[in-house]
Amino acid sequence: MDEHSANEALLVQKEGLVNVSKKTPFFISSVKWTLRVVMWVIFIIWAAFVFMFPSDFVSHLLEKWILATDGTLFGVTGSIFMLFSAPILLMAFLAFAYLSISGEEQSHGKKASRYPGFRLKTFPLFVQGPFGVVSAAESIGIVIFITYVIWAFCKETSNNLNLVALLDLPSKEKCAWMLRHTGLRLGLIGLFCLIFLFLPVARGSILLRLVDIPFEHATRYHVWLGHLTMSLFTLHGIFYIIGWFIEGRLIHELLEWKNVGVANLAGVISLLAGLCMWITSLPGVRRLNFELFFYTHQLYVVFVVFLALHVGDFIFSFAAGAIFLFMLDRFLRFFQSRRTVDVLSARSFPCGTLELVLSKPANLHYNALSWIYLQVRELSWLQWHPFSVSSSPRDGKNHLAILIKVLGDWTAKLEGRIPTDDQKESEIEPLLQSSSRLTVSVEGPYGHESSHHLTYENLVLIAGGIGVSPFLAILSDVLHRINEGTPCLPKNIVIIWAVKTSNELPLLQTVDMESICPNFSDSLNLEILTYVTRESEPSLEEGSKIIEPVNSSTFASSKHHGISVLVGTGNIIWSGTYVVASTIGLIITVALLDIFYINPYNVSYWWYKGLLFLACMVVSTLIFGGLVICLWHIWERKTGINEYENTSENGNLQQTKPKLNKKSVQEQYSTTIRYGQRPDFRDVFESMSDRWGNVDIGVIVCGPPSLQTSVAKECRTQNLKRRGNDAIFHFNSHSFDL
- Pairing type for strands 525-532 and 670-675 reads parallel
Q: Mean pLDDT throughout 639-664?
A: 50
Cis peptide before 170, with omega less than 30 degrees from 0? no
**pLDDT the model gives residue 92:** 93
Query: How far is residue 237 from each of residues 163, 188, 241, 338, measured CA to CA in Å?
Result: 21, 12, 6, 39
Domain annotation covers residue 700: yes
Q: Among residues 361, 382, 364, which one has the least CA distance to residue 373?
A: 382
Position 648 confidence tier, pLDDT thresholds 50, 70, 90: very low
> What b-and-e string marks burial along 151-168, b requiring 16 or more CB atoms within 10 Å of the CB?
ebbebbbeebeeeeeeee
Q: Mean pLDDT throughout 666-688?
A: 84
pLDDT digits (tens, 9 = 90+) for 626-643: 999 999 988 888 876 665
**pLDDT the model gives residue 432:** 38
**pLDDT the model gives residue 563:** 87
- 168's CB contacts (< 8 A; 6+ apart) are none
Is the distance from CB of 629 to CB of 332 less than 8 angstroms? yes
Position 148 confidence tier, pLDDT thresholds 50, 70, 90: very high
Domains held by the chain: number:
1
Q: Mean pLDDT throughout 724-729?
A: 87
Q: Mean pLDDT throughout 663-678?
A: 75
**pLDDT the model gives residue 347:** 84
Query: How far is residue 360 from each of residues 422, 517, 572, 647, 701, measured CA to CA in Å?
Result: 30, 24, 18, 12, 27
Position 9 confidence tier, pLDDT thresholds 50, 70, 90: very low
Position 542 confidence tier, pLDDT thresholds 50, 70, 90: very low
pLDDT digits (tens, 9 = 90+) for 341-393: 888 888 888 888 888 999 888 888 888 888 899 999 888 888 888 899 998 88
Output helix, strand, coil percentages for the chain, rounded to the nearest 5: 55, 15, 30
Asked if residue 89 has pLDDT above 90, the reply is yes
Q: How far apart are CA 580 and CA 578, in angstroms?
A: 6
Top-confidence residue, 481 or 570:
481
Query: How far is residue 41 from each of residues 195, 362, 397, 404, measured CA to CA in Å?
Result: 19, 38, 40, 44
Asked if residue 15 has pLDDT above 80, the reply is no
Termini Cα distance of the chain: 28
Domain annotation covers residue 503: yes
Q: Mean pLDDT throughout 517-524?
A: 78
Q: How far apart are CA 384 and CA 2, in angstroms?
A: 35
Domain annotation covers residue 523: yes
Percent with pLDDT over 70 in the chain:
85
pLDDT digits (tens, 9 = 90+) for 212-270: 888 888 888 999 999 999 999 999 999 999 999 998 899 999 999 999 989 999 999 99
**pLDDT the model gives residue 656:** 42
Domain annotation covers residue 84: no
Containing 733, the helix (H) or strand (E) segment is strand 728-733
Position 606 confidence tier, pLDDT thresholds 50, 70, 90: very high
Q: How far apart are CA 395 and CA 264, in angstroms?
A: 57
**pLDDT the model gives residue 644:** 53
Query: How far is residue 453 from each of residues 206, 483, 488, 694, measured CA to CA in Å?
Result: 21, 17, 10, 19
For residue 718, give its domain range: 451-546+658-738
Is the distance from CB of 555 to CB of 357 less than 8 angstroms? no
- Pairing type for strands 458-464 and 696-702 reads parallel
pLDDT digits (tens, 9 = 90+) for 389-419: 998 888 888 889 999 988 878 888 888 877 6
Domain annotation covers residue 423: no
SS3 readout for 365-400:
CCCCCEEEEEEECCCCCCCCEEEEECCCCCCCCCEE
Q: Mean pLDDT throughout 51-75?
A: 85
Position 111 confidence tier, pLDDT thresholds 50, 70, 90: low
The amino acid occupying position 146 is I
The side-by-side arrangement of strands in the sheet containing 370-376 is 385-388, 370-376, 440-447
- 361's CB contacts (< 8 A; 6+ apart) are 398, 562, 563, 565, 636, 639, 640, 643, 644
Using CA of residue 131, residue 135, residue 141, residue 144, what is the dihedral sign?
positive
pLDDT digits (tens, 9 = 90+) for 193-206: 999 999 998 888 88
Asked if residue 558 has pLDDT above 50, the reply is no
In degrees, rounded to 5, the angle at the alpha carbon of residue 350 between the alpha carbons of residues 348 and 355 is 30
Position 26 confidence tier, pLDDT thresholds 50, 70, 90: confident
**pLDDT the model gives residue 12:** 35
Position 144 confidence tier, pLDDT thresholds 50, 70, 90: very high
pTM of the model: 0.87
pLDDT digits (tens, 9 = 90+) for 152-187: 999 989 988 888 888 878 888 889 999 999 999 999
**CATH value at residue 537:** 3.40.50.80
Domain annotation covers residue 532: yes
Q: How far apart are CA 348 and CA 59, in angstroms?
A: 63
**pLDDT the model gives residue 412:** 86
Alpha carbon dihedral 654, 656, 488, 728, in 10-degree steps, equals -170
- 376's CB contacts (< 8 A; 6+ apart) are 414, 417, 438, 439, 440
Q: Mean pLDDT throughout 308-313?
A: 94
- Pairing type for strands 343-349 and 353-359 reads antiparallel
Domain annotation covers residue 16: no
